[in-house]
């Protein structure tokens, strides 16, 4: 199988192009195991998961994403930027603006080149669509027609106020005074697997730095601590705006462990996310070897 490994702010995925490479297409039930094996840093390539680029019936292209534990997610903000860059650079996309189908809906992307003093940096701007706020849409236990904003919940001995947002995938956001003081590796898996969330949840902690600046760290459903999460950054801005900590229609700089994203929740209700995407390597996976053990 031919692969390209890419990252968006350190959130890294092994990408299999299925547009015209029959070697990269497996039987459907094999993808969860492929993701687990490829993501393993000792026996595989090492990644936060895998991404498939496939033909689409309803958009220009389709993206599927599997987490490190083999579970399939509906959306991946950093993955979308990587896929968009890959498609433009390999000339599958002939225009800088095009659409990508995800299991969470169709999004539109635009690949821009911005000239820096020393180097040209390629940014990808993605219209991530409208956030969903009702518990039934997250999904989350409780009244399906009510949002969960700053809602107190107890997990063992700890109490946290959760603000929940779906960006195609579910995010529980917690506002704190200092992001680095929170033991996310301890509370992340507890909240991820709590029965409050029937499909589990991504857990984000947010520190407000100003009206246009936040710090954000994430525990990802199915992958654990990662350097960045694009949908999570969008959910963090939406949750902070709903809690009146940020302003609608302003470009917010989201500082993540792997770098910065710019997120804007516009007046029409769409969340825009802009950031970089980068190659790590291209290679060939020895499929027989990888699946033999
Ligand atoms: N890192 C991604 C999100 C990947 C999926 C997530 N772990 C989930 O299961 O919902 C991003 O950049 O959005």
pLDDT for the residue numbered 287: 74
In this structure, the number of other CB atoms found within 10 A of the CB of residue 162 comes to: 24
% pLDDT > 90, the chain = 90
Task: Give the mutation target among 35, 39, 49, 76 for probing the ligand 1 site: most ligand atoms within 8 A of CB.
Answer: 76
Residue 218 host element (H or E): strand 213-220
Rounded Cα gap, residues 34 and 145, in angstroms: 38
Q: Which residue's CA is the closest to the ligand 1 atom numbered 2?
A: 76
pLDDT for the residue numbered 116: 62
pLDDT for the residue numbered 137: 97
Quick one: tokens of 21?
């490479």
Q: Which atom of ligand 1 is nearest to the CA of 232?
A: 13
Is there an atom of ligand 1 within 6 Å of 201 CB?
no
What's the mean pLDDT in 219-229?
98
pLDDT tens digit sequence for 3-17: 999 999 999 999 999
∠ CA 55-275-109, rounded to 5°: 30
What's the mean pLDDT in 218-239?
98
Q: Catalytic annotation on 281?
A: no
pLDDT for the residue numbered 293: 59
pLDDT tens digit sequence for 116-151: 656 667 789 999 999 999 999 999 999 999 999 999
| Residue 21 DSSP symbol | -
pLDDT for the residue numbered 288: 72
pLDDT for the residue numbered 231: 98
Is there an atom of ligand 1 within 6 Å of 78 CB?
yes
Distance from residue 241's CA to the centre of ligand 1 (Å): 21
Rounded Cα gap, residues 69 and 192, in angstroms: 13
Task: Give the mutation target among 218, 231, 233 for probing the ligand 1 site: most ligand atoms within 8 A of CB.
Answer: 231
Residue 32 host element (H or E): helix 31-39
b/e map 50-71, b = 16+ CB within 10 Å:
bbbbeeeeebbbbbbbbbbbbb
pLDDT tens digit sequence for 140-199: 999 999 999 999 999 988 999 999 999 999 999 999 999 999 999 999 999 999 999 999
Q: Which residue's CA is the closest to the ligand 1 atom numbered 3?
A: 76
ipTM exceeding 0.95, yes/no: yes
Is there an atom of ligand 1 within 6 Å of 81 CB?
no
Q: Which residue's CA is the closest to the ligand 1 atom numbered 1?
A: 229
pLDDT tens digit sequence for 71-99: 999 999 999 999 999 999 999 999 999 99
Is there an atom of ligand 1 within 6 Å of 12 CB?
no
Residue 38: half-sphere exposure toward Cβ, Cα within 13 Å:
31
Rounded Cα gap, residues 200 and 76, in angstroms: 16
| Residue 162 DSSP symbol | E
Packing angle between helix 230-242 and helix 77-89, nearest 10 degrees?
A: 130
Is there an atom of ligand 1 within 6 Å of 67 CB?
yes
pLDDT for the residue numbered 216: 98
Distances (CA, A) of 176 to 14, 157, 180, 185, 187: 33, 17, 10, 15, 13
Residue pair 31/52 in contact (Cβ under 8 Å)? The answer is yes
Q: Which residue has the higher pLDDT, 176 or 115?
A: 176
Residue pair 16/24 in contact (Cβ under 8 Å)? The answer is yes
Residue pair 111/122 in contact (Cβ under 8 Å)? The answer is yes
% pLDDT > 70, the chain = 96
Mean pLDDT, the chain, integer: 95
What's the mean pLDDT in 203-221?
98
Distances (CA, A) of 265 to 34, 86, 240, 252, 288: 36, 26, 11, 9, 46
Rounded Cα gap, residues 84 and 77, in angstroms: 11
Residue pair 195/141 in contact (Cβ under 8 Å)? The answer is yes
Task: Give the mutation target among 223, 224, 238 for probing the ligand 1 site: most ligand atoms within 8 A of CB.
Answer: 223
Distance from residue 166's CA to the centre of ligand 1 (Å): 11
The catalytically annotated residue of 54, 82, 164, 229 is 229
pLDDT confidence band for 269 (50 / 70 / 90): very high
- Domains of the chain in start order, with CATH, are 2-126+277-290 (3.10.310.10), 135-269 (3.10.310.10)
Q: Catalytic annotation on 54?
A: no
């Amino acid at each position: 199988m031919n692969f390209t490994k890419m990252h968006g702010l350190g959130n890294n995925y092994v990408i299999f192009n299925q547009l015209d490479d029959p070697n990269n297409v497996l039987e459907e039930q094999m993808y969860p195991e492929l993701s687990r094996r490829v993501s393993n840093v000792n026996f595989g390539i090492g990644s936060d998961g895998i991404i498939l680029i496939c033909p689409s019936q309803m958009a220009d292209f389709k993206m599927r994403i599997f987490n490190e534990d083999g579970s399939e997610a509906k959306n991946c903000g950093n993955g979308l930027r990587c896929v968009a860059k890959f498609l433009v650079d390999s000339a599958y996309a002939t225009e800088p603006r095009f659409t990508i189908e995800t299991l969470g809906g169709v999004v539109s992307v635009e690949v821009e080149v911005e000239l820096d003093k020393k180097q040209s940096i390629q940014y990808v701007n993605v219209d991530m669509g409208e956030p969903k706020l009702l518990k039934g849409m997250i999904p989350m236990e409780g009244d399906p027609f009510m949002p969960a904003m700053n809602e107190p919940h107890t997990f063992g001995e700890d109490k946290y106020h959760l603000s929940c947002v779906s960006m195609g995938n579910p995010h529980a956001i917690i506002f704190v005074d200092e992001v680095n003081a929170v033991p996310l590796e301890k509370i992340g898996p507890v909240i991820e697997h709590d029965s409050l969330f029937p499909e589990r949840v991504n857990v984000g902690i947010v520190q407000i730095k100003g009206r246009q600046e936040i710090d954000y760290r994430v525990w990802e459903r199915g992958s654990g601590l990662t350097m960045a999460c694009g949908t999570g950054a969008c959910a963090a801005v939406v949750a902070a705006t709903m809690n009146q900590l940020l302003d609608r229609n302003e470009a917010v700089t989201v500082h993540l462990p792997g770098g910065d994203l710019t997120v804007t929740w516009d007046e029409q209700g769409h969340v825009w996310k802009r950031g970089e995407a980068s190659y790590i390597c291209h290679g060939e996976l020895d499929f027989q070897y990888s699946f033999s053990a």
